[in-house]
Structure 1
Amino acid sequence: MKKLILIVPLLIMVLFVVAMFLLLLGLWQWAVSFVLVVLILNWWSETFALHPFGEINSHYDFRILSFNVNRAHGFSVNMGTTEQLIEFILKQNADIVLLQEYNAELYPEVQERLNYEYSHNSVIEINSRFKTVFSRFSIESCEQLMVDSNDPKYKLFQNAFYNKKNHKGIEVLPICKMKIMIAGRMVQVFNCHLMSNNYSVVIRNLRKKGQCICYGIIPILKRLDFGYKARTLQARILSEHIDENLPALICGDFNDVSGSATLHELQQSGLYDSWWKKGFGFGYTFHGMGLRFRLDHVLFTSKQFKLCNIIVPRTNVSDHSPTICDFVFLIK
């Protein structure tokens, strides 16, 4: 059931439209039944957040911004310039900026400009893509999660979909764990870019060959199945690295929607989805290839933090929109 979670937002909208149509026809009993199904499905999947009257709270201890700044898929059009990207980030006035998937060509310019605003930063490179944190607070440590793919538990990472070179041994995961001293409090912050389905590769190859997209159905389904398994395993590994004694923020591009096995795996560790707690609507963050999904998330531990605000501003400087959250510490 969790593998079908991507169609839930569409299913919710269709069922709601059907319910309204039945109501107009005077079939209110059927309409109520459909509405109940919509509400139950929405509660199960945490798809459409229902906080329309949330007030913007200007009093918070820190603001964190998580942003996949990928601009290289070739499907998106009218992308902004690198200068616009930098100005957009600075305008948000975040205390901590987490970036995923920005390439080596952008790195020097972004690094140079943001260093003026943020006195602390850490950069980790994977396959010419960077995961970076810029912070006004001291970064006490930064490490990348790794596993041994020879271990039977992690043998999935030897699969050709994940590991093109088919090497065996230490596998570096796209997850960075940091400890940041925020207002005198040590907080663990994870910057993630979990396994992509990479179905865009199949579509690009078909377009190059001039073939119909229908020829890619089977390869795309295989990639979706493997991506589901890989992200669930990555989330499980991440959960094992969360220190229960410290406040935790898990941020980034999860390449999965709310209600998925990936999010469920993390929420079992006592983490909460920021958008579901404070947002309103679908809150989609990915808008490439004509699609709309909420793939980027900020999860937090509720015992130490109170979520004041969450914002998903629209922008054309990436095929993703950033997720911005304001938090206060519950215990001063």
Structure 2
Amino acid sequence: MKNFIEKWKVILIINLFVVLLLLIVCLRQYIGINRFFILSFLGFFVPFFVYANILFVLYWALKRKIQFLISLSILVFGYFMNDSFIKFNDSNSNAFADFSVMSFNAHGFAGFFKIDNPNVKEDIVEYVLRENPDIVCFQEYNIEVSSMFKEYPYKYITPDSVDATPQAILSKYPIVSHGAFDFKNTINNAIYADVKIKQDTVRVYNIHLESFRVRPGSLKREVPTNIFNRMSSAFQKQLEQARLVKKHSLSVKYKTLICGDFNSTQYSNVYRILKGDLKDSFLEKGVGFGNTFDFRILPFRIDMILTDLEIVSHKNYNIEYSDHEPIKASFRVK
């Protein structure tokens, strides 16, 4: 009997700890956690916290214990406090739209460790052309492929004056003006272009925020303090970069679209800063987990499209041409 009580206490303590972690994530926008980087990282593990709490609900319910209300309460609270990481929207890709945008971190068109494909460069180009978006925002671009995108006569690529990994905006519509951000002490950067679509102009931001440079397979080989210090520094840079882009976008008189590789989830302050009053195409029209990054068993959505345009559809792709997967959304200007 004593052993049973001790086991029951241990399970309850673990349950309360997982509830506390999810509660912190739910309240992130109301408490000052910017200085405590480890708390910001909890947003990456929201799916795990949710699954764990569901298991605790089932466990206590099967035991006919009132403790099932502990996890059930935080799940209900979290659902109303935050947008769910899984969506069941009715996204009609055939509905009328004025234009579409694809965002894709193409990893330099060089493939990545999981694939051995000497033709990956050509395969990516062919795939994008087949999907036929009106505007493509590439992160980690390769300027060698520019000549392959003849269907996109208007292009803006990170200028040579910015010492960073190239980003690119390819468009079927005229680009009437453009510019670049020069993030300090990093190879990450962002660019923007004003695109003339029919009688309207839309400002398109293509951003690649600071990378954590952490791979699932390398975590066991690294000293924990080194990982923590690198991730803390990266998150601080992300916040600075996000504030810079957001401040810039608020001065724009056109409809705005911010897309790219955020390297942060929807539960981070980085995302909250960039989103502001904008809408998230996945949350509005997406289906499923919206996974965009290969990170073993956890669904990671770190590539986003945010806008104040009317969102018609959103599509996630499941392809292995990069460590990221592309996303595409369509919009109406008015």
The residue that corresponds to 2:239 in the other structure is 232
Q: Please tell me whether Structure 1 or Structure 2 has the larger radius of gyration of its CA atoms.
A: 2
The residue that corresponds to 2:17 in the other structure is none
Once the two structures are TM-superposed, the CA of residue 288 in structure 1 deviates from its matched residue by 5.0
The residue that corresponds to 2:126 in the other structure is 87
Q: Report the RMSD for the aligned CA atoms in angstroms.
A: 2.7
For residue 193 of structure 1, what is the amino acid of its counterpart? H
The residue that corresponds to 2:34 in the other structure is none
Name the stretch that deviates more: 248-257 or 39-48: 39-48
Alignment of 1:1-332 (within 5 A): 1-27=39-65, 30-31=67-68, 33-70=70-107, 75-78=113-116, 81-103=120-142, 107-108=143-144, 110-115=145-150, 117-124=151-158, 127=163, 129-146=165-182, 157=184, 162-163=185-186, 174-200=189-215, 203=218, 213=221, 215-242=222-249, 243-268=251-276, 270-287=277-294, 292-301=299-308, 305-330=309-334
Q: Quote the Cα distance in structure 2 between the aligned partners of 1:218 and 1:202.
A: 17
After superposition, the C-alpha distances for 1:281-320 in whole angstroms (9 at most, x for unaligned) are 321100156764111000001xxx2111100111011111
Could you tell me whether the CA contact under 8 Å between 1:78 and 1:316 is conserved in 2?
no
Could you tell me whether the CA contact under 8 Å between 1:45 and 1:258 is conserved in 2?
no
Could you tell me which runs of 5 or more consecutive residues in structure 1 were left unpaired when the two chains were aligned: 148-156, 164-171, 207-211
Could you tell me whether the CA contact under 8 Å between 2:137 and 2:169 is conserved in 1?
yes
Once the two structures are TM-superposed, the CA of residue 25 in structure 1 deviates from its matched residue by 4.3
Name the stretch that deviates more: 39-48 or 222-231: 39-48
Q: Quote the Cα distance in structure 2 between the aligned partners of 1:257 and 1:42.
A: 16
Could you tell me whether the CA contact under 8 Å between 1:9 and 1:47 is conserved in 2?
no
Could you tell me whether the CA contact under 8 Å between 1:64 and 1:95 is conserved in 2?
yes
* TM-score (structure 1 length as normaliser): 0.79
**Percent identity over paired residues:** 25
Q: Note closer, same or farther for the CA distance 1:201–1:223 as it changes in structure 2 (3 Å cut).
A: farther
Could you tell me whether the CA contact under 8 Å between 2:105 and 2:260 is conserved in 1?
yes
Q: Quote the Cα distance in structure 1 between the aligned partners of 2:97 and 2:215.
A: 40
Could you tell me whether the CA contact under 8 Å between 1:81 and 1:317 is conserved in 2?
yes
* TM-score (structure 2 length as normaliser): 0.78
Q: Quote the Cα distance in structure 2 between the aligned partners of 1:30 and 1:299.
A: 39
Could you tell me whether the CA contact under 8 Å between 2:175 and 2:193 is conserved in 1?
yes
Could you tell me which runs of 5 or more consecutive residues in structure 2 were left unpaired when the two chains were aligned: 1-38
After superposition, the C-alpha distances for 1:180-236 in whole angstroms (9 at most, x for unaligned) are 111211111100001001234993xx9xxxxx52x4211111111111111111010
The residue that corresponds to 2:15 in the other structure is none
Aligned residues, how many?
Answer: 291
Q: Quote the Cα distance in structure 1 between the aligned partners of 2:296 and 2:216.
A: 12
Q: Quote the Cα distance in structure 2 between the aligned partners of 1:250 and 1:299.
A: 5
For residue 122 of structure 2, what is the amino acid of its counterpart? E
Once the two structures are TM-superposed, the CA of residue 32 in structure 1 deviates from its matched residue by 5.0
Could you tell me whether the CA contact under 8 Å between 1:199 and 1:223 is conserved in 2?
no
SS in 1 for 2:166: strand
For residue 88 of structure 2, what is the amino acid of its counterpart? H
Could you tell me whether the CA contact under 8 Å between 1:308 and 1:325 is conserved in 2?
yes
Task: Report which of the two has the higher share of strand.
Answer: 1
SS in 1 for 2:223: helix
Once the two structures are TM-superposed, the CA of residue 64 in structure 1 deviates from its matched residue by 0.4
Q: Quote the Cα distance in structure 2 between the aligned partners of 1:288 and 1:127.
A: 28
